[in-house]
Structure 1
Amino acid sequence: MTAPTNPKIKHSNTDVLIIGAGPSGLMAATWLARAGVPFRIIDKRSNEIFSGQADGLQCRSLEVLKSFSGSTFDMTALDSAWKMGNHMIEMCFWSPDENGQLVRSGRIPDTIPGISRFQQVVIHQGYIEKWFEESIKHFSGNEVHVERPYLPLNISIDETAAEDQDAYAVEVLVKDLSKDNLSQPEQFSAKVANGLYRQFEGDQEKFYANLSADLENDPNANTEDYEVIHCKYVLGSDGAHSWVRKQLGIDMDGETTDFVWGVLDMVPITDFPDIRNRCGIHSKDSGSVMVIPRENDLVRFYIQLKEVDRDPATKTDKAEYTGNVNDKKASTKGRIDRSKITPELILKNAQEIMKPFKLEMTDLHWFTGYQIGQRVSPRFDKLSRVFISGDACHTHSPKAGQGMNVSMMDTFNLGFKLALVCKGLAKLDILKTYESERLGVARDLIAFDHKLSRMFSGKPMIPNSKTLEEGVDMDEFHKAFLKGNEFASGTIVDYADSILVDKSNTEEPDSDGRAFSYFASKVPVGRRLQTNLILAQADGRPYHIVDRLLSDGRFRVLIFPGDVKAHPENLETLNKFDAYLQAKDHFSKKYTPVNALDNSVIDVITIHATNRHDVEIFDFPEFTRPVDFKGRRDYWRLYSGVGPTYHEGDVDAYEAYGIDKKKGAIIIVRPDGYVSKVTEYNLGGLDEVGNYFERFMIPQEGKVLPKRSIDVDDTDRFTKPLLAV
């Protein structure tokens, strides 16, 4: 649909327009603010903090939040979430014994030990959104904030300009709703905040139908409320009933089921002994409950509802949805009648499931109800100009703790790619990897949730039962949950070979599908670089290596020259690297704008394997300890990966990464922390690094930035954008 040409309507330009200020949209906004890319983010909600919704932060999400924090500043969300959130330590299983009585049948760690330095925490999504917004303001120098309440009405793509990297090829008509008093979220006639209205398609269309005025033909339209935003790119992070997705003509493939669950956020009054542990509870005949202890005294209960009235208008004789997962019984009863779902109904079902334990509630904060379904979009973009993320392209049950986490990881994947393209550093081709990388994750998520949600909703098998009645084998359920924890952590995402991931030097994948290189036999290419301690050569301070790889849009080239004391020839090779990296026709200079800081696009870091007391910083070549335009030395590009610390034990990153201390290695890490390539430590390996960047980076010799004055006050340089500056 073409945007109106009414001359009275305001027009504006921005590189990226984000529609939807939930966690997925806010993650993209954080990336763009950190990288210094012009963008806007709009949301139709007027309220900034919304009760309920998602509440769990998995390991990888916490790692990512940490990656936006540097030594001189801290991203608000990471520090606050880790301190305020309830840490999930243990998962307990309860199921019927031989007599049908509810007993504890097992315990496992909630997070797999050693998989990350963080464990899952649970915290209100409203806090997370608030912290994101504060960080966006911080990174953008207070120039960007979520614009509320704004509603998108039209979107059009100039397909003839789609391949022009500098073109504002997308137009979006938006309306400011602040004068309409129509932007408050529905609560569906309940006195307590709830999410019932969010679960059902069609509400948005009904709610805002009267806003789609024809501005060309309506002489009474108030044009001051409308704006046409000209964008290079649009991101639709606008939820399960995404307006953006519908404008692109993309349907969701999948299914809905007859399993109905209710959710309560409240303070329980109970004699159940594991109420402050995460629990999966299967009763003999009354259904199932998942217990999620939250911050303060709150506990979230996911409660299976045995019988809920259905809306007769939605009853069907066959499944409403077909797709990757097939359930012949889906949707035969119709959609649940929201008006019949009350906190009292949900609690009554929970009380039956948890007998003989007592359960009452006080301080109810939020409730909702939903039908389990799994759906995924077959496409995540159109013409690499308009993208969708999060619930807009995959929906599932909430019990796996994946909704907010996978949604944020979608845009963590996309954000740096948009930044590189908007800044003219990389070709449009890299944007195609968003769908290819994240669609696979979404499909894995749907398969995982399909299995877990059905095992959770199914009737349990009674141990040693003589009846022939089938049920869910609780041992299999425990195993599935344990295996699912690895997936749910977000740490095993593995991106396939692409323009951004080069697995050419890897051996055959192992049983877990991991592709390792001979040169770093414990670093899987395509997965996130797992952290290990390294020691700053200058002062001996231990750093987690990933804390040196901030999410600021830059690539990292990690040079591991081995033990340069035991093998002097390795230091000679490193000295040869100096001339290579200073040459204008090699990657370090070639893809960095003239007069920009030398590591503002590709950051080269050296990590040797010699005890730092046996070498001096000036034994190493200039590129490992460079000076800037004021003569200030950068001491944080040279580290020892092997040796003792005063307070944290011995360090051996070479052993952890499977790198030979004589042969060394070179590792390329993408701006999102995923390993792009591993190659050998020699000039040939450095040429391979150059060939990798040549595939998608744009030479910058024609882009000249103003020269910096030696008198400039740049004491705030650590918190300002660092990409291509």
Structure 2
Amino acid sequence: MPAGVDTEASKVDVLIVGAGPAGLMCALALARAGVKVRIVDKRPQKVAAGQADGIQPRTTEVFKSYGLSDRLVKEGTQLHVAAFYNPSKNGGIELTDRVPDVAATDTNFPFEVTLHQGAIEAIFLDDMRDMGIEVSRPVIPTSIEVNTALVEDFGAYPCRLVLEYANSDQEEKRSEIVYAKYVVGADGAHSWVRKQIDIVMEGEQTDYVWGVVDLVPDTDLPDVRNKCAIHSNNGSCMIIPREGDKIRLYIQLDGKDVIDANGRVDKNKAGPEKILDVARKTLHPFTIKTPQSYDWWTIYIIGQRVAQRYSLYSRVFIAGDACHTHSPKAGQGMNASMQDSYNLAWKLVHVLKGTARRTLLQTYELERRQYALDLIAFDKKFAKLFSGKPYSELNLDGVSHAEFLQAFQTFGGFTSGLGVHYDQSIIINPKYQHLARNALVGQRLPPRPLLRAADCRPIDLHDLLVSDTRFKLLIFTGNTHNPSQMARVVDFASKLRAPGSFFAEFSSLEAMHSVFDIVSISSEKKETIMYNALPRILWSHWSKVLIDDIDMRGITGSGKVYQSLGIDTAGAIIVVRPDGYVAAIAPLDGVSHLTNYFAGFMKRYP
């Protein structure tokens, strides 16, 4: 080390580089699971304004699984309507249509939430602070090495990083050597980690240039508190309502006005006033006045790229913008980034705790890279439609409202995050899909209204899918009031505890509930159900026995959960991954199938 540099050394299970939404989601998930984690960031403080701001329904569901959705929804703005404006025959624009902003209905959060990135980061930071975890900043990593001889050693720390504390107030900068079992690079589109491990971004840059400005509007546009997609002969615009009466304007710009000789954006050529001037032409005949101040602004060129791979030796990973870049029009950037980390974190936990083999980590790239490729394919079409000239009598080849609306609604499941599908793998087994036809293997399990058997209290199925890194075994027992069906359930419970079952093979009875959480769901009626009549192994707690019925007043619950999920009277077992995705389905006599499933990636207990 050079003279004048103080060097320390430490060890950590996971070191996260980058404290944006992707890094913070990863740190929160790991810390909640008891993993020794550190997170560093080169920024002196968290984001103060601007940046990403849209939270889609699936991400809000994830926040709920951590107990954080109430704050998110309270602080943010809810978007329920998408308004469409197109060229009018009299010049300018006119209202063409209003539709639901979120087309999907199978969620408890049928709306988008907008809240600036700094406030979203604060939700994570406050929760982490309660666990004694703070972001180390400003810290700049200067080198990373991976000892290839140690990558398959369970107890080893093969990753060596040098961190430099970049506090300009100190004449002598302090450095630290960190040895980590795993490293996660969540350090943005220009990721240092990605470059250090020689991962290439594949894709292209478009010709579409957009300006973004956040402000409190003074305008006569009647839909300013709704999401607006505006096509005009002057260009396109999107309006996103924000917290605190603010809105965000996305304005299509003429590239020649802001692009330098090297093809890069030159912010000196345009500022928020320029963006707003273009917006006025696009919004005509509606007006918008110049505000006293602008909250935030930027200019960017839409680029659509995906990382060639997502890890090095399954020891160093990249997540979020370090993996994929795309336009922000569909509101996927921050959502995709946090979902990357959410996917990776539970897999790291099981490997670190010794309950799963390292091959599990390979499914991170398998699932999230394919998602990113699908996202880019969607983004290319959506960006082209949004940035293209609108259809008019003078432009018959332009984008029609019907074409744009069809794309908006067709891809609704994708943009909401509710329809993301993971293909078959060691953790996705669709063999018995027919036993629960509408609980799609490879997709997130939808919410459903049920009752607790013990007290008839209404509860939603998602209330039990907390993010605690455990696999949820949903035992749909059928009508347990029927003696023959109860006999099948008792036989299932007997085989579940027998030597050779996945419980016996992949967990001890003492540790069982740290790996698996069992929830029993009966179709027996509330008038006759006895929750404690079920075999004891099928209810870890009295609150984990549910019934598919309506409450005593006939107001809540549905009595149609079996029907809506496509489960018949014989019952079924649904395995839900720690991230809420349906992983496998089995019949009540299918303990051997479940054993084979878990044998594909879990470790047997000695």
When normalised by structure 2's length, the TM-score is: 0.96
Counterpart in the other structure of 2:142: 153
Structure 1 CA distance for aligned equivalents of residues 572 and 525 of structure 2: 18
What displacement does 1:649 show? 4.8
8 Å CA contact retained: 1:643, 1:652: no
Counterpart in the other structure of 2:200: 251
8 Å CA contact retained: 1:49, 1:130: no
For residue 590 of structure 1, the aligned residue among 505, 517, 536 is 505
2:592 paired with 1:603: no
Structure 2 CA distance for aligned equivalents of residues 469 and 502 of structure 1: 48
Taking a change above 3 Å as real, the CA distance of residues 311 and 370 of structure 1, as seen in their structure-2 partners, is: closer
Amino acid of the structure 1 residue aligned with 2:287? K
Structure 2 CA distance for aligned equivalents of residues 625 and 274 of structure 1: 51
| Paired residue secondary structure (2:12) | strand
The Cα offsets for residues 675-716 of structure 1, whole Å up to 9 and x where unpaired, read as: 11111112xx11211111111111223xxxxxxxxxxxxxxx
Counterpart in the other structure of 1:709: none
What displacement does 1:7 show? 11
2:594 paired with 1:675: no
| Paired residue secondary structure (1:691) | helix
Taking a change above 3 Å as real, the CA distance of residues 427 and 649 of structure 1, as seen in their structure-2 partners, is: closer
2:128 paired with 1:136: yes
The 5 A counterparts of 1:88-127 are 88-118=79-109, 119-127=111-119
Counterpart in the other structure of 1:64: 62
Structure 2 CA distance for aligned equivalents of residues 277 and 641 of structure 1: 37
What displacement does 1:248 show? 1.1
Counterpart in the other structure of 2:601: 696
What displacement does 1:607 show? 0.8
Percent of residue pairs identical: 42
What displacement does 1:92 show? 0.9
Structure 1 CA distance for aligned equivalents of residues 71 and 531 of structure 2: 37
What displacement does 1:581 show? 3.3
8 Å CA contact retained: 1:645, 1:651: no
Structure 1 CA distance for aligned equivalents of residues 588 and 493 of structure 2: 14
| Paired residue secondary structure (1:135) | helix
Structure 2 CA distance for aligned equivalents of residues 484 and 552 of structure 1: 30
Counterpart in the other structure of 2:333: 403
8 Å CA contact retained: 1:608, 1:642: no
Count of residues in Structure 1 that have an aligned counterpart in Structure 2: 603
8 Å CA contact retained: 2:457, 2:551: no
The Cα offsets for residues 572-616 of structure 1, whole Å up to 9 and x where unpaired, read as: 1222233333345432243335743x4111112211110132122
Structure 2 CA distance for aligned equivalents of residues 296 and 403 of structure 1: 22
Structure 2 CA distance for aligned equivalents of residues 298 and 120 of structure 1: 16
For residue 10 of structure 2, the aligned residue among 2, 9, 12 is 12
Counterpart in the other structure of 1:631: none
8 Å CA contact retained: 2:519, 2:539: no
Amino acid of the structure 1 residue aligned with 2:207? D
Gaps of 5+ in 1: 70-74, 182-220, 315-333, 506-516, 627-633, 702-725
What displacement does 1:625 show? 3.9
What displacement does 1:124 show? 1.2
Gaps of 5+ in 2: none
For residue 227 of structure 1, the aligned residue among 150, 170, 176 is 176
8 Å CA contact retained: 2:104, 2:413: no
What displacement does 1:281 show? 0.9
For residue 417 of structure 2, the aligned residue among 481, 486, 490 is 490
Taking a change above 3 Å as real, the CA distance of residues 386 and 635 of structure 1, as seen in their structure-2 partners, is: same
Structure 2 CA distance for aligned equivalents of residues 136 and 654 of structure 1: 38
When normalised by structure 1's length, the TM-score is: 0.80
2:435 paired with 1:444: no
8 Å CA contact retained: 1:267, 1:361: no
The Cα offsets for residues 380-423 of structure 1, whole Å up to 9 and x where unpaired, read as: 11111111111101111111100000110011110100010011
| Paired residue secondary structure (1:12) | strand
Counterpart in the other structure of 2:480: 564
Counterpart in the other structure of 1:574: 489
Counterpart in the other structure of 2:290: 361
The 5 A counterparts of 1:107-506 are 107-118=98-109, 119-138=111-130, 141-142=131-132, 144-179=133-168, 222=172, 225-284=174-233, 286-310=234-258, 312-314=260-262, 334-362=263-291, 363-462=293-392, 465=393, 467=394, 470-505=397-432
Structure 2 CA distance for aligned equivalents of residues 125 and 8 of structure 1: 34
Taking a change above 3 Å as real, the CA distance of residues 603 and 307 of structure 1, as seen in their structure-2 partners, is: closer
The Cα offsets for residues 542-579 of structure 1, whole Å up to 9 and x where unpaired, read as: 111121121011011111110011x3122112222333
Taking a change above 3 Å as real, the CA distance of residues 145 and 584 of structure 1, as seen in their structure-2 partners, is: farther
The Cα offsets for residues 272-322 of structure 1, whole Å up to 9 and x where unpaired, read as: 1111111111112x11110111112101000111255456541xxxxxxxx
Structure 2 CA distance for aligned equivalents of residues 461 and 468 of structure 1: 5
8 Å CA contact retained: 2:18, 2:188: yes
Structure 1 CA distance for aligned equivalents of residues 79 and 105 of structure 2: 15
Counterpart in the other structure of 2:534: 620
Amino acid of the structure 1 residue aligned with 2:285? P
The 5 A counterparts of 1:15-30 are 15-30=13-28
8 Å CA contact retained: 2:449, 2:557: no
Amino acid of the structure 2 residue aligned with 1:370? Y
What displacement does 1:355 show? 1.0
Query: What is the Cα-based RMSD across aligned positions, in Å?
Result: 2.0
